[in-house]
Amino acid sequence: MAGAAIVMLMVLLSLPVLFAGTDVEAGRTNADWVNRKAAASAALTSKRIVLLGGSNTLYGFSAETITRQTGRPALNAGLNAGFGLKYLLHIGRNIAKPGDLFVLPLEYPLFEKAQVHDSAIFQFISHDQAWLKSLSWLERFEFSWAVRIKHWQYYYLNSQNPPAPVALGTRLPGAPLLNDVGDVIDADPASITPQMREAVKNETIRVWKLDNDALNVLQKFAEDLQALDITVIVVPPNVHERMLNNTANKAFFQQLSRAMTDRGITTLGNPQLFLFSDNCAYDTNWHLTRPCQIKHTKKLIQLLKDSGRIAPPE
């Protein structure tokens, strides 16, 4: 029995090696987002406003609107919070240019102890082995430990019939439509189905717990970019009002505020700033419809103007 368990463990831990670089449908949309945001970043000049976070950023703000109203080039680098804070900030480092203003509307679970989600498993194994190899041995073991039989089966079955290659920018089945600066532009209220409304309604309300390691990762990111003449500001994320549960999370917000101040990380806005209700919810409690995306972007622009963070480009 013990021998069988050890064999099973070794099989699961071997997945990142056995299927390195194997393209599968499950991770294609996220990988496409990463590549498209990198290409969009390369096409923009310096002195940009870069929005970096999970999908609350992707669906919740409009870089196109920021450029139109401020004259500053802007990029929506929002991806998938399931990648984890460390990887999102790694992407941020890769696209950063001196003179940028980085605005981080980070989902609150990103401030918790890091977990390995399916989106990270598919991204790292299929599309970013270099990142996986850059992790410490402990982090790589924790990543491998998160692999389940379902992942091994999925990779084995799909490796026999891999999807056809697609050109950068090709819209994948089921993926949202992005513009040239990374905004989701097809979150139309008219397209919301009863199933999508039910998903919003049934999402679990959680009490978040601040993790010191996450704060260390964020502090290092801010310090590294500031050394390159890049400003980093953390703002509240877009989140449905039912998820905030201010009473239960009162201690979390107090601790987060103190920790940011103590670590010299610049923050703007309070947790209520980008709250929304059912009329703005698209398909999750973190995603906005397009009209509300524009509305929240205007609030963000005003926040940056009031704090003196936005000035005409040189």
Residue-wise pLDDT for 278-304, tens only, equals: 999 999 999 999 999 999 999 999 999
| Domain-located, residue 122 | no
| Domain-located, residue 140 | no
Supply the CATH number for residue 84's domain. 3.40.50.1110
The string of pLDDT tens digits covering residues 233-260 is 999 999 999 888 767 888 899 999 999 9
* pTM for the predicted model, two decimal places: 0.92
| Domain-located, residue 67 | yes
Mean pLDDT of the chain: 89
| Domain-located, residue 232 | yes
What CA–CA distance (Å, rounded) separates 300 from 68? Answer: 14
| Domain-located, residue 204 | yes
Instruction: Write out the E strands in the chain.
Output: 49-51, 74-76, 101-105, 231-235, 239-240, 266-267, 275-276
| Domain-located, residue 118 | no
Count up the domains in the chain and report the number: 1
| Domain-located, residue 246 | yes
Residue entry with tokens 């290092």: 220
Give the pLDDT band of residue 204 (cuts 50, 70, 90).
confident
Domain range spanning residue 212?
27-111+178-306
| Domain-located, residue 14 | no
How far is the CA of 231 from the CAs of 93, 100, 241, in angstroms? Answer: 12, 6, 29
